[in-house]
Structure 1
Amino acid sequence: MTESMIKKQITALVNMAKSDDNMDDRELALIYRIGDAHKISRDEIQEIIAHPGKIGSVDELDPDEKFEFLYSIIQLMKIDDEIFNEEVEYCNMIADKLGYSYGAVMEMYPQVHKNLVIKSEKKALKKKLTSFLKDS
């Protein structure tokens, strides 16, 4: 993913974290971990947290990047052990924006773990989710 796309992903994560009016420390830790992994400075991340704005277009993402984007959003939703309707609605909106049909979030939800990634499960889930892409 390009730096621009990572910043859009972080923006989406921040908006998700703020959707329940309570940005949890675990949510912040995941946001920083993703930013750090992609060499986004702490100052840039803090600026996005302070003023997230809208994510804009994600049309240029390839299917793998779309999956990763949605996976991280669902992971963030689960990380504080509380799921709010606003968060589910936000995930569904992001999934739609990424080109996934209705049901993709609920298909992914039980297989996305909040604190770990099991590569074999993630790979199988990615394969299964291709059937939810509207343009496939």
Structure 2
Amino acid sequence: MKRKQMLNTLVQLATIDNELAGRESSWLTQLGGKLGLTAEEIATAFRSPMAPPNFTYLAEEERFEYLYNLIQLMKVDGKVFSSEITFCERVASRLGYKSGVVRALSSHIYSDPSITADRLMLQQKANRYLQAS
């Protein structure tokens, strides 16, 4: 269920500007496959995305994975809109991160998924923005 929820949250970000770019759609479809979702589950996420879930049950690593994927998706089409930044910041807050985490990580996360970032360094940086529970 967590994988479907992640894909749904990402679809919401991708469609926040009322346009789903080809690169965004392709990236989401590939990610859905990597998450082990079926073609039907991926198609359902595009047709009727659900509201973002309650993130409190997620482990720290899962929270980071959400955040990383959100930021990468925001950049995948080469255009970053203020509405996308706001959405990412809102979800980051719901994930338990303090403000500024999106800005701190986004310069290290690339729009091209084939360019891999130092994920350990990014997770350590993100952890500095975790709010005390």
Q: TM tier, shorter chain?
A: over 0.9
Aligned length: 132
CA contact (8 A) 2:13 2:87 kept: yes
Partners of 2:105 and 2:125 within 8 A in 1: no
- What CA deviation, in whole Å up to 9, does each residue of 1:48-92 have, x standing for no partner? 111002022111111111111010010000000111111000000
1:118 alignment counterpart: 116
TM-score normalised according to structure 1 size: 0.92
Deviates more, 1:108-117 or 1:92-101: 108-117
Q: CA shift at 1:122, angstroms?
A: 1.7
Q: How does 1:1-136 map to 2 (within 5 A)?
A: 4-115=1-112, 116-119=114-117, 121-135=118-132
SS at match of 1:132: coil
Gaps of 5+ in 1: none
Q: Which stretches of structure 1, 4 residues or more, deviate above 6 A after TM superposition?
A: none
TM-score, L = length of structure 2: 0.94
Q: C-alpha root-mean-square deviation of aligned residues, in Å?
A: 1.2
Return the alpha-carbon distance in structure 1 between the equivalents of residues 42 and 23 of structure 2: 15
Q: CA–CA distance in 2 between the matches of 1:108 and 1:128?
A: 8
Paired residues of 1:5 and 1:58 also in contact (CA < 8 A): no
Distance 2:121 2:129 in 1: 14
- Report the alpha carbon displacement of residue 117 of structure 1 after superposing the two structures with TM: 4.4
Question: Structure 1 counterpart of 2:64, which letter?
Answer: F
Identity of aligned residues (%): 27
State the alpha-carbon separation in 2 of the partners of residues 55 and 107 from structure 1. Answer: 23
